[in-house]
Structure 1
Amino acid sequence: MTSLFAPYTLRSLQIPNRIWMAPMCQYSAAPEGEAVGAPADWHFTHLAARASGGTGLILTEATAVSPEGRISPYDLGIWNDTQVAAFRRITAFLKTQGTVPGIQLAHAGRKASTERSWVDRGRPIAPEEPHGWAPVGPSALAFDQASTLPEELTVDDIRGIVQGFATAAERARAAGFEVVEIHGAHGYLIHQFLSPYSNRRTDEYGGSFEGRTRFALEVVDAVRAVWPEDLPLFFRISATDWLVENPEDDRDGWTADDTVRFAKELLAHGVDLLDVSTGGNAPNAKIVTGPGYQVPFADRVRAESGMPVAAVGMITEPVQAQEIIATGKADAVLLGRELLRNPYWAHHAARELGRDLTFPVQYHRA
């Protein structure tokens, strides 16, 4: 039986255990000025605490490849050298704790230019408001009635964004990251292209499965071309829009069948692991939640495509996480809110499961 605490190797990189931290936006970067988009003291403290807590791999929050790719004006970015230098301080510390530093590269697309989640429930910020800008998308379709109508991307625009992901990956390596994850989930730009719910294009980037996946694969190819061959590349996906699963919902969307088919394509294009989440692209989708509710999607992808996977979604208990790994439903678990509540979850899990996990020497007395 594989243990939650067994090392995991991808390409030349060995990750010390299967307890990984999912990207979680902090909305705490400067919205303008020289430090715009750069990680600050909050980000250092937030990530360093989880590394000291025994987390094997930490993925930073969604980090924008361009200013207009941010979800909010307070998001992290990696489009300039100031941001790279600030990230380098964080990655260096994470490595001293034995934690692998990873970064999630993202573009919010039509869900960009919104407030922080605790301010007016993340309402859209109009282009004419302070710190606001015009969002873009595969089609001129707003996320919902309250959202700003996005501008439809031209083919030249798309090519520019693909290059933006590649340049961001180069900067990520310069910043000391050892894993790059491309964000293709939760209704952000790549997901918007994948799903027929949000992609109504009639050119080569729309219509068929091949057309709707073209942009994502171009991003993967561009990133893989500049990312070191000996380091792994992840892709986060929403396995379903949760539309087809509901017989009362007649909207068309991305499905679990699509995800399995696409996972095989990603594997052939050099992606090493699929981070399997769900939802985020269609408002008012009926999502059936509960402990581990997204794990079956990861399990199916792993079984039917051969792609290594990480499972997410209401994974909170050590015994639950151990069962996911031991039974081969996933190769790792990504914890989100549970690690916000308890930075030392890995140590508590080790004690509960009777495993050894080294504390920082400064905490040896504990």
Structure 2
Amino acid sequence: MTMTDHAHVFTPLKIGGITTKNRVECSPAIPFLASEDYFVTRELIEWYRRIARGGAGIVTVGETSIDYEDARRHGRANVLCLADNRAINGLSVLAETIQRYGAVASIELNHEGLRAPAEMTTDEIRAVIDRFADAAERCRHAGMDMIMIHGGHGHLLGSFFSPATNTRSDRYGGDLQQRAQFAVEVLDAVRAKIGGEMSLEYRISADELVPGAPSVEETLEFAKMIEGKIDLLHVSAGNLYAAETVPRMIQPIYLPRGINVEFAARFKKELRVPVVTVGSITMDMAEEIISEGKADMVAMIRSIIADPDCVRKTRIGRAADIRPCVRCNRCVSETRDYTRPTRCTVNPIAGREVEFLNIQTPEQRKRVVVVGGGPAGMEAARTAASRGHKVVLFEKESRLGGSLAKAAVPAFKHDMKTYLDWAQQTTLDTPGLDVRLSTEATAEAINMECPDVIILAVGSSPTVPELPGIDQKNVVWAGDMHIQGVEIGDEVIVAGAGMVGCETALDLGLDGKLVTLIDMLPLDMIACDVHPISRTALLDMLRSASVVIKTQTRLESVTSAGAIVMNRDGGREEILCDSVVLALGATPRHETVRLLEGLAEDVRVIGDCRRRGGNLRRAITDGFNAAIDI
């Protein structure tokens, strides 16, 4: 594809007094790369430099606090705060960095709030309005082009607009106009400080998806009230403080892409101000959305984190080279839940830009052998070859992918399949990389290559407990379910309720099977290896698929008619079924590692064979780390 295939995406858009070079906005997120005292760092500058260099028309610095107390109240560290003039210096460098690459430098201002609007006095409300205005003025002094005010997702301004949380009886509560008053006064105060020098964007939840929240019609009425005060309306959905709605805000792999576009289309029909939509949008989807008049602009962040060059690659006709986002939400969950710096499952450099600013060219071209063509092995092989080394990759199967090839089979794992296809093709196409499929990496075969470095990525084997009847024909390992010739009956027990077990149960349930999912853990611990936003969606889908979940239940034995299980009280029961599917974890192939680790002085062990409890991010990061310094 070329730029002409995305002609609408690459059409400039006038937003107030500025014009963007294209219709892609890098939406706001918190990488947690600011200093502990809330200022710009080199890490933050390089994070946004990499994004701006990748081609987005607007780069929005995410969720900046206007109030130290608000930032501290919510346990935030390593985020930006514009509560005093000391922030201007670093912010000006950040603005210059973004603008250097032709992007509009924007920043989101937010106040998370007290969660109880009725507790705020009018003096406190006035103080918050002043803080928004003062922060906006600091943005103007720093040379930013644009400001986004966050009025959605249940934060302070959104909570005032919602009758579900605003029970005030003064001028800031009651009917729609009064509930909107706080936001209106914030916008007026901000505009008074920035005038026409900067453009102004407002972010809303078209529908918070919680009982008692404003209807879409009410939110649209509010949008009409403020459209004369803003230059761009950012239409999202959900409430960050109602866990069941967060998957609608930040869609995991289990939900469709673009599910908020319908809201933007509705608002665009009735508003004069340009409208931006957000929610798992790809570059191809962006062209379709804009060309069909459903939105004027699209916002994305996870796709840009996965491949910061996705906009540029699309513009120059290299869309097939874009590294796909798998929507695992680790980039979001690990930061929000643990205030760790952002990391990406598929892009091992994300959040580590400073570390790899000046990667030294190897002084010597080495012979590198990689054993195992799963995600870790593919990443290691590509990285080593891209560094100029001569690389041989041994894979005993007829295709690359390892365990990921099995995990990506269910229809709801389409994003994972897209990544797998990209990784396979990119690995096969990498110059200097000799991929040998259907080839066992014996000691003799490895020695023939005279390797300087061996990277072992031999994966893991399914854990199969020693139980009566476990070797019967009605017992299947989860990874083998889709192998040709494997038959799964209509009534199924899935043993093990981690991510693999839950996804297996969902796959079977969606196929019309009657599924019972059992695990020794309590309910609040199942799928604990799935990050919270994704876990919420996964458990909801299991319920929708009528999967029966029995927790604190242990598999005791398998019979020809089903399985004997023990509950937490020691009672045993027989569950009748046609098939028992095991999803009880995996055991690293330490024995294979021991057989091969003496074949070179420099041997590096990565991925699932290195540790229990591996996941895709660890595998890819292991592969990259092992190869980048060879």
Measured after TM superposition, the shift of residue 2 of structure 1 is 6.1
User: Whole-Å Cα distance in 1 between the matches of residues 297 and 318 of structure 2?
Assistant: 16
1:94 aligns with 2:98: yes
Give deviations 1:202-221, integer Å, cap 9, x for gaps.
Answer: 21111211111110000011
Q: Which has the higher contact order (CA 8 A, sep 6+)?
A: 1
Indicate conservation of the 8 Å contact 1:10/1:231, yes or no: no
User: Whole-Å Cα distance in 2 between the matches of residues 241 and 102 of structure 1?
Assistant: 25
**Secondary structure in 2 matching 1:76:** coil
Q: Of 264, 271, 274, which residue of structure 2 is paired with 1:298?
A: 264
Q: Of 273, 288, 294, which residue of structure 2 is paired with 1:329?
A: 294
Indicate conservation of the 8 Å contact 1:53/1:344, yes or no: yes
**Root mean square deviation, CA, Å:** 1.8
Q: Which amino acid aligns with 1:349?
A: T
Tell me the TM-score normalized by structure 2.
Answer: 0.47
Q: Of 176, 179, 187, which residue of structure 2 is paired with 1:212?
A: 179
Could you tell me which residue of structure 2 aligns to residue 116 of structure 1?
Answer: none
Indicate conservation of the 8 Å contact 2:34/2:78, yes or no: yes
Measured after TM superposition, the shift of residue 173 of structure 1 is 0.6
Indicate conservation of the 8 Å contact 2:70/2:113, yes or no: yes
Indicate conservation of the 8 Å contact 1:2/1:325, yes or no: no
- Structure 1, unaligned runs of 5 or more: 111-135, 140-151, 244-250, 355-366
Measured after TM superposition, the shift of residue 284 of structure 1 is 4.3
User: Whole-Å Cα distance in 2 between the matches of residues 282 and 95 of structure 1?
Assistant: 34
Could you tell me which residue of structure 1 aligns to residue 11 of structure 2?
Answer: 6
Give deviations 1:247-279, integer Å, cap 9, x for gaps.
Answer: xxxx211221112101111113x2111011111
User: Whole-Å Cα distance in 2 between the matches of residues 64 and 226 of structure 1?
Assistant: 18
**Secondary structure in 2 matching 1:296:** helix
**Secondary structure in 2 matching 1:24:** coil
1:347 aligns with 2:327: no
Could you tell me which residue of structure 2 aligns to residue 273 of structure 1?
Answer: 232
Measured after TM superposition, the shift of residue 30 of structure 1 is 2.8
1:256 aligns with 2:221: no
Measured after TM superposition, the shift of residue 282 of structure 1 is 5.1
1:352–1:296: structure 2 CA closer, same or farther, 3 Å change rule? farther
Greater shift in the superposed pair: 13-22 or 281-290: 281-290
Q: Which amino acid aligns with 1:290?
A: P
Indicate conservation of the 8 Å contact 1:78/1:171, yes or no: yes
- From the CA coordinates, give the structure whose radius of gyration is larger: 2
Indicate conservation of the 8 Å contact 2:144/2:198, yes or no: no
Measured after TM superposition, the shift of residue 235 of structure 1 is 0.2
Indicate conservation of the 8 Å contact 1:294/1:313, yes or no: yes
Give deviations 1:270-320, integer Å, cap 9, x for gaps.
Answer: 21110111111552445664210111111111102223111100102x211
Give deviations 1:78-101, integer Å, cap 9, x for gaps.
Answer: 122221101111111211111110
Could you tell me which residue of structure 1 aligns to residue 109 of structure 2?
Answer: 105
**Secondary structure in 1 matching 2:202:** strand
Q: Which amino acid aligns with 2:33?
A: S
1:344–1:2: structure 2 CA closer, same or farther, 3 Å change rule? closer
Q: Which amino acid aligns with 1:311?
A: T
Could you tell me which residue of structure 2 aligns to residue 184 of structure 1?
Answer: 151
Please give the residue correspondences for 1:58-207 in structure 2 after superposition, counting only pairs within 5 Å: 58-70=59-71, 71=74, 72-110=76-114, 137-139=116-118, 152-207=119-174
Measured after TM superposition, the shift of residue 137 of structure 1 is 3.7
Q: Which amino acid aligns with 1:29?
A: A
1:275–1:353: structure 2 CA closer, same or farther, 3 Å change rule? farther
**Secondary structure in 2 matching 1:77:** coil
Could you tell me which residue of structure 1 aligns to residue 56 of structure 2?
Answer: 55
Q: Of 186, 206, 210, which residue of structure 2 is paired with 1:239?
A: 206
Measured after TM superposition, the shift of residue 230 of structure 1 is 4.3
User: Whole-Å Cα distance in 2 between the matches of residues 78 and 42 of structure 1?
Assistant: 18
Could you tell me which residue of structure 2 aligns to residue 115 of structure 1?
Answer: none
User: Whole-Å Cα distance in 1 between the matches of residues 222 and 125 of structure 2?
Assistant: 20
Tell me the TM-score normalized by structure 1.
Answer: 0.79
Give deviations 1:110-160, integer Å, cap 9, x for gaps.
Answer: 3xxxxxxxxxxxxxxxxxxxxxxxxx6413xxxxxxxxxxxx110100001
User: Whole-Å Cα distance in 2 between the matches of residues 314 and 343 of structure 1?
Assistant: 15
Indicate conservation of the 8 Å contact 2:209/2:239, yes or no: no
